[in-house]
């Protein structure tokens, strides 16, 4: 059998053109309300699960142009953004930005007080790649990991399955059942803590917050 593709090339190549950074920093979001949804959910999750960041580093991977930076800094974190696309990073300002892969993070273990991974997992169809991503995010975090995914029980995911709503992209974005994601998280040695979404069964984009299982427990 061929080796699993742990760092899917189609994800990296999707943003490797000069206009991608400016698009994601601006016109990607149809209005201010849509643009604020992810930052608001990240701020809420950090307030609940990492209330005492006190200047600790917080990783945003992939960061894009850094649209989550203000939400992270508002909770007391020192922002570090990582993205594979130089065009995305060129649009970033403030904080620290590093080019790299979320599957091979260039940081020592437990570097960050929290780690955020937003709008990546639904592009990953291969289960081995999902597992490897979760393990790498968990490795560099000394606190919670905030991982977004497409919830398969949502109204939008149901419409896609029934063919009522068609994907606008050819990369076969994938929705996951919560139980399937929890299984991957537990296999990585972590414990699911809480879900954050705008409206359960309506919002497709959802965050799962998880943290490493203490030694000798779980």
- The per-residue pLDDT for range 131-171, each reduced to its tens digit, is 999 999 999 999 999 999 999 876 455 455 545 555 555 44
Predicted local distance difference test score (pLDDT) of residue 76? 96
User: What is d(CA 127, CA 5) in angstroms, rounded to the nearest whole number?
Assistant: 10
User: What is d(CA 97, CA 6) in angstroms, rounded to the nearest whole number?
Assistant: 23
Domain ranges of the chain: 9-211
In this structure, are residues 129 and 103 in contact, taking their beta carbons and an 8 Å threshold?
Answer: yes
- The per-residue pLDDT for range 97-133, each reduced to its tens digit, is 999 999 999 999 999 999 999 999 999 999 999 999 9
Output the pTM of the full model: 0.82
Range 9-211 classified under CATH 3.40.50.150 = yes
User: What is d(CA 190, CA 137) in angstroms, rounded to the nearest whole number?
Assistant: 11
- The per-residue pLDDT for range 34-66, each reduced to its tens digit, is 678 899 999 999 999 999 999 999 999 999 999
């Amino acid at each position: 059998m061929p080796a699993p593709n742990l760092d899917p090339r189609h994800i990296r190549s999707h943003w490797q053109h000069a206009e991608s950074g400016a698009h994601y920093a601006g016109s990607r979001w149809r209005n201010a309300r849509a643009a604020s949804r992810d930052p608001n959910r990240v701020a809420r999750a950090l307030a609940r699960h990492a209330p005492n960041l006190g200047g600790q580093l917080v990783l945003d991977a992939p960061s894009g142009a850094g649209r989550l930076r203000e939400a992270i800094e508002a909770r007391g974190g020192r922002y570090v953004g990582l993205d594979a696309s130089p065009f995305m990073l060129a649009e970033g300002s403030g904080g620290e930005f590093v080019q790299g892969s979320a599957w091979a993070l260039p940081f020592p273990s437990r570097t960050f007080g929290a780690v955020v991974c937003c709008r990546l997992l639904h592009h990953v169809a291969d289960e081995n790649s999902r597992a490897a991503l979760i393990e790498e995010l968990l490795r560099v975090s000394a606190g919670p990991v905030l991982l977004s995914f497409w919830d398969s029980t949502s109204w939008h995911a149901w419409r896609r399955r029934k063919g009522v709503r068609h994907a606008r992209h050819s990369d076969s974005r994938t929705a996951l059942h919560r139980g399937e994601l929890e299984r991957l998280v537990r296999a990585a040695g972590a414990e699911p803590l809480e879900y954050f979404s705008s409206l359960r069964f309506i919002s497709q984009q959802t965050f799962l917050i998880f943290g490493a299982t203490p030694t000798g427990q779980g």
